[in-house]
């Protein structure tokens, strides 16, 4: 029974399963970022479409579709009211994708669904851009292309063949994807769109109370990764400055807002190669403006962020860091001497203290009565912390005079306790001082030669101003718990507190080795793929072509494209499967070629019997012999007659010998 054109264009069972499966794979990473009610919409639409296929339910009417569309739009508006981000747009896209499946009838509708699927795959990268997201995106494309083939295939084939077809298309497209990624102008990557607003801020804030960093250290999340251009310094020398806290109200330290100026990529003064540290940082999104560098910072540069620096040497981005970003920096290996004295205004500001903590003030007055120099006062304060103080993540609560309570009563605290009390001591002595918060140390990965700094590496230390020297970093925590600087937070704590530190724990060395390899792969992905910007592209073109001339780049693109096409054509030619013919077929083809030289050529649409009848009209002898050969051939091929096979071989050999000996005339007779 012949099918009508409409029946041929309808979506059949196999096509529907492929389309629903492809939709599920494309929207799954999006659904987990969207409200739960969209899951219910998808499941309901899935059930409805299956019931339509089974003939139990009907396709939705125009009014029903209008109601569903308005309902989803209202749901998105209510759910995301007041939220500016990508979630409302993605939610609308997913709802449209889901509802389109309900009204899908023909293969044309299936094609529209598949096209929406490609947009959904692109939307996946709004939420994640790591290696796993890239792999899943390619897998989604593979399923979409396979579903595309399945929806339009006219004959049933196995699932393995469908996968082979889809995989072949993806593999063939990958070289061109790579070439286009390299040569297309970098107009701003997809992931420059602000990340979802639901993601909370990570890391420390611009205020600090005693106990804040103890909570942050419990997080194993990655803060940033750093690669040095040359041999990196030891981890214990890595103090990553993030913020300066220079205002104290008696309870809370906070940073003062100062004017920041744009910072350039080249240092203002010349340094010998061994005097500076050159490094690049890939920072995770933390939704704040501050960035992390080693002090003293000389210069910094980024093609993704607009960088600024204030007079305290802090590095900022012009806008909050809401996407993973890379910047490079240059810092001096040794402290740089101050070229001018501290202004009187800054001195008053950096020695100001609120009322309170009388015991601490009295202790400092005793020290000052001994006519100690500023450096001796610093040493005396550090020596104080070596007397029965304990480094702990479980410090007791402090009273209103927190510094007094800590120094003379509890003597148990975390790094912010020691930094805060030390700065209070210095300011009480009239020495300008401030708290620095950032990170200290890091885990070195020698596979790609970079440091991984986690939130658990968060740290607070101090800086003091010494006349004729300038700002110098002082870490009072190192006086109490030197293992914190040498080995890390966990090794400086008691055994029962080590589990409080946010670190990844591994059941075996194999698991840890696999993690290191995976993290190294992710670092390379971030550096060479996500951070492949306009500057990186120009540097690459300069290395490959000598300069960035458009004609050179265009010529290179054409040559590479021709090379890929040539390799593909050669692969297709040498890998094509040539049909294996029977002995009878090969002998038959050879005989027909010889007969064609006599002027009797077989038409493509002719059977062997029809060809013999046509030859008989002009050459009866040859035609009669061909009729006999045709009958034997049909018996061998279609009836699998083994006796006829031997007769066919003999007849073919006989006819070929006669033609070879020039007996064409006798055959014609």
Q: What are phi and psi of 369, to 5 degrees?
A: -65, -15
Same domain? For 542 and 556 the reply is no
Inform me whether the pLDDT recorded for 298 exceeds 70.
Answer: yes
Pairing of strands 412-413, 390-391: parallel
User: Residue 199 domain-assigned?
Assistant: no
Determine the distance from the C-alpha atom of residue 638 to the mean position of all C-alpha atoms in its chain, rounded to a whole number: 59
Inform me whether the pLDDT recorded for 158 exceeds 60.
Answer: yes
CA atoms within 13 A on the CB side of 512: 9
Could you identify the residue written with the tokens 């709802």?
95
Q: Could you tell me if 361 and 176 are in contact, meaning their C-beta atoms sit under 8 angstroms apart?
A: no
Per DSSP, helices labelled H in 456-607 are: 476-480, 482-486, 489-492, 509-525, 534-545, 550-575, 583-597
User: Of 134, 158, 192, which one is at a domain's C-terminal end?
Assistant: 192
Q: What are phi and psi of 442, to 5 degrees?
A: 145, 160
Q: What is the predicted pLDDT for the residue at 511?
A: 85
CA 360 → CA 356, 365, 408, distances in Å?
9, 9, 9
Residues 579-635 pLDDT 10s: 566 777 778 888 888 888 887 888 877 888 888 888 888 888 888 888 888 888 888
User: Residue 596 domain-assigned?
Assistant: yes
Residues 194-225 pLDDT 10s: 544 444 456 777 888 877 777 778 888 899 99
Q: Considering only residues 188 and 354, tell me which one the structure prediction assigns the higher pLDDT.
A: 354
User: Residue 197 domain-assigned?
Assistant: no
Q: What is the predicted pLDDT for the residue at 422?
A: 95
Name the burial class of residue 342, with classes exposed (0-12), middle (13-18) and buried (19+) by CB atoms within 10 angstroms of its CB: middle
User: Residue 332 domain-assigned?
Assistant: yes
Q: What are phi and psi of 529, to 5 degrees?
A: -110, -65
User: 145: which 2 tokens?
Assistant: 């292309």
Same domain? For 539 and 626 the reply is no
Same domain? For 217 and 176 the reply is no
CA 586 → CA 332, 636, 660, distances in Å?
81, 14, 17
Q: What are phi and psi of 458, to 5 degrees?
A: -60, 145
User: Residue 45 domain-assigned?
Assistant: yes
User: Residue 506 domain-assigned?
Assistant: no
Q: Could you tell me if 501 and 490 are in contact, meaning their C-beta atoms sit under 8 angstroms apart?
A: yes
User: 495: which 2 tokens?
Assistant: 């055994």
Same domain? For 525 and 434 the reply is no
Q: Could you tell me if 76 and 92 are in contact, meaning their C-beta atoms sit under 8 angstroms apart?
A: yes
Q: What are phi and psi of 483, to 5 degrees?
A: -65, -25
What value, to the nearest 5°, has the Cα angle with vertex 243 and ends 489 and 235?
Answer: 35
Q: Name beta bridge partners: 462.
A: 435, 474
Could you identify the residue written with the tokens 């006796």?
643
- Catalytic residue numbers, as ranges: 415, 459, 475
Q: How far apart are CA 510 and CA 294, in angstroms?
A: 33
Q: What is the predicted pLDDT for the residue at 242?
A: 92
Q: How far apart are the first and last CA of the chain?
A: 49
Same domain? For 417 and 277 the reply is yes
User: 362: which 2 tokens?
Assistant: 């009295």
CA atoms within 13 A on the CB side of 657: 6
Q: Give the count of domains, the chain.
A: 5
Q: Considering only residues 348 and 55, tell me which one the structure prediction assigns the higher pLDDT.
A: 348
Q: How many other CB atoms are there within 10 angstroms of residue 659's CB atom?
A: 17
Q: Could you tell me if 621 and 632 are in contact, meaning their C-beta atoms sit under 8 angstroms apart?
A: no
Interhelix angle 374-385/415-428, nearest 10 degrees: 150
CA 489 → CA 91, 221, 371, 498, distances in Å?
42, 15, 37, 8
User: 663: which 2 tokens?
Assistant: 């007996």
Torsion of CA 266, 269, 275, 277, to 10 degrees: -20
Whole-model pTM? Answer: 0.74
Pairing of strands 450-454, 276-283: unpaired
Helix, strand and coil in the chain, % to nearest 5:
55, 15, 35
Same domain? For 372 and 455 the reply is yes
Task: Name the pLDDT band for 11 (thresholds 50, 70, 90).
Answer: low
Q: Considering only residues 244 and 334, tell me which one the structure prediction assigns the higher pLDDT.
A: 244
Same domain? For 150 and 28 the reply is yes
Mean pLDDT of 44-60: 85
User: Residue 52 domain-assigned?
Assistant: yes
Q: Could you tell me if 385 and 408 are in contact, meaning their C-beta atoms sit under 8 angstroms apart?
A: no
Inform me whether the pLDDT recorded for 565 exceeds 50.
Answer: yes
Q: What DSSP line would sit under 417-458, residue for residue?
A: HHHHHHHHHHHHTT--EEEEEEEE--EEETTTTEEEEEGGGE
Same domain? For 476 and 534 the reply is no
Could you identify the residue written with the tokens 């063949």?
161
- Mean pLDDT for the chain overall: 83
Task: Name the pLDDT band for 1 (thresholds 50, 70, 90).
Answer: very low
Count the residues in the chain. 669
Same domain? For 157 and 288 the reply is no
User: Residue 148 domain-assigned?
Assistant: yes
Q: How far apart are CA 621 and CA 247, in angstroms?
A: 116
Which of 415, 418, 434, 243 has its CA nearest to residue 352? 434
Which of 512, 514, 490, 509 has its CA nearest to residue 501? 490
Q: Is 254 helix (H, G, I), strand (E, B) or coil?
A: strand
Which of 253, 251, 213, 210 has its CA nearest to residue 357? 251
Q: What is the predicted pLDDT for the residue at 84?
A: 66
Q: How far apart are CA 572 and CA 32, in angstroms?
A: 42
Same domain? For 491 and 343 the reply is yes
Same domain? For 531 and 649 the reply is no
Residues 92-122 pLDDT 10s: 899 998 888 888 877 788 888 889 999 999 8
CA atoms within 13 A on the CB side of 400: 4
Torsion of CA 211, 217, 223, 227, to 10 degrees: 120
230-239, 297-306, 645-654, range with the lowest pLDDT: 645-654
H helix or E strand, kind and range, residue 109: helix 107-124
Same domain? For 181 and 230 the reply is no
Sign of CA dihedral 547, 551, 554, 559: negative
Inform me whether the pLDDT recorded for 669 exceeds 50.
Answer: no
Domain range for residue 406? 207-500
254-258, 352-356, 529-533, range with the lowest pLDDT: 529-533
Q: How far apart are CA 107 and CA 149, in angstroms?
A: 11
Q: Could you tell me if 473 and 334 are in contact, meaning their C-beta atoms sit under 8 angstroms apart?
A: no
Could you identify the residue written with the tokens 């101003």?
465
């Amino acid at each position: 029974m012949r099918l009508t054109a409409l029946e041929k264009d309808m979506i059949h069972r196999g096509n529907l399963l492929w389309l629903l499966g492809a939709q599920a794979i494309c929207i799954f990473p999006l659904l987990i970022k969207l409200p739960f009610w969209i899951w219910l919409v998808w499941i309901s639409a899935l059930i409805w479409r299956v019931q339509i296929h089974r003939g139990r339910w009907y396709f939705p009417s125009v009014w029903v579709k209008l109601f569903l569309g308005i309902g989803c739009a209202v749901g998105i508006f209510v759910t995301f009211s007041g939220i500016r981000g990508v979630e409302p747009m993605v939610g609308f896209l997913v709802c449209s994708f889901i509802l389109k499946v309900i009204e899908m009838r023909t293969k044309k509708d299936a094609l529209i669904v598949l096209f929406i699927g490609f947009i959904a795959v692109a939307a996946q990268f709004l939420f994640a851009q790591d290696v796993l997201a890239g792999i899943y995106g390619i897998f989604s494309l593979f399923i979409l292309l396979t579903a595309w083939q399945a929806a339009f295939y006219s004959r049933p084939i196995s699932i393995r063949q469908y996968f082979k077809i889809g995989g072949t298309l993806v593999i063939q497209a990958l070289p061109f994807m790579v070439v286009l990624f390299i040569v297309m102008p970098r107009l701003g990557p997809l992931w420059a769109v602000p990340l979802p607003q639901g993601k909370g801020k990570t890391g420390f804030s611009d205020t600090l109370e005693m106990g804040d960093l103890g909570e942050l250290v419990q997080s194993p999340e990655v803060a940033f990764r750093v690669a040095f251009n040359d041999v990196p310094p030891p981890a214990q020398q890595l103090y990553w400055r993030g913020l300066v806290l220079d205002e104290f109200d008696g309870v809370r330290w906070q940073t003062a807002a100062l004017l920041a100026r744009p910072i350039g990529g080249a240092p203002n003064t010349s340094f010998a190669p061994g005097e500076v540290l050159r490094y690049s940082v890939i920072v995770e999104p933390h939704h704040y403006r501050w960035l992390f560098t080693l002090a003293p910072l000389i210069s910094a540069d980024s093609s993704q962020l607009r960088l600024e620096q204030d007079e305290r040497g802090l590095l900022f981005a012009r806008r909050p860091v809401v996407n993973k970003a890379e910047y490079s920096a240059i810092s001096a290996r040794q402290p740089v001497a101050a070229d001018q004295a501290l202004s009187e205004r800054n001195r008053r500001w950096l020695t100001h203290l609120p009322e309170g903590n009388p015991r601490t003030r009295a202790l400092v007055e005793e020290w000052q009565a001994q006519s100690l120099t500023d450096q001796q006062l610093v040493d005396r304060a550090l020596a104080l912390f070596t007397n029965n103080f304990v480094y702990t993540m479980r410090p007791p609560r402090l009273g209103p005079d927190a510094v007094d309570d800590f120094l003379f009563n509890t003597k148990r605290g975390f790094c912010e306790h020691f930094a805060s009390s030390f700065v209070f001591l210095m300011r009480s002595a009239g020495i300008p001082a401030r708290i620095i918060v950032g990170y200290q140390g890091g885990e070195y990965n020698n596979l790609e030669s970079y440091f991984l700094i986690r939130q658990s590496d968060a740290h607070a230390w101090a800086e003091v101003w010494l006349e004729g020297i300038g700002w110098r970093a002082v870490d009072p925590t190192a006086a109490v718990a030197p293992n914190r600087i040498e080995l890390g937070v966990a090794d400086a704590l008691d055994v029962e507190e080590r589990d409080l530190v946010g670190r990844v724990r591994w059941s075996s060395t194999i698991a840890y080795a696999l993690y290191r390899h995976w993290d190294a792969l992710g670092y390379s992905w971030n550096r060479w793929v996500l951070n492949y910007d306009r500057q990186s592209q120009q540097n690459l073109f300069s290395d490959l072509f000598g300069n960035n001339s458009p004609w050179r780049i265009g010529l290179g693109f054409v040559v590479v494209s021709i090379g890929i096409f040539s390799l593909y054509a050669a692969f297709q030619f040498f890998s094509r499967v040539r049909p294996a013919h029977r002995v009878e077929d090969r002998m038959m083809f050879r005989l027909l070629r010889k007969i064609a030289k006599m002027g009797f050529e077989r038409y493509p649409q002719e059977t062997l019997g029809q060809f013999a009848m046509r030859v008989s009209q002009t050459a009866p002898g040859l035609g009669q012999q061909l009729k006999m050969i045709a009958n034997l051939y049909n018996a061998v091929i279609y009836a699998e007659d083994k006796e006829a096979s031997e007769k066919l071989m003999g007849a073919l050999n006989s006819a070929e010998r006669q033609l070879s000996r020039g007996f064409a005339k006798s055959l014609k007779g």
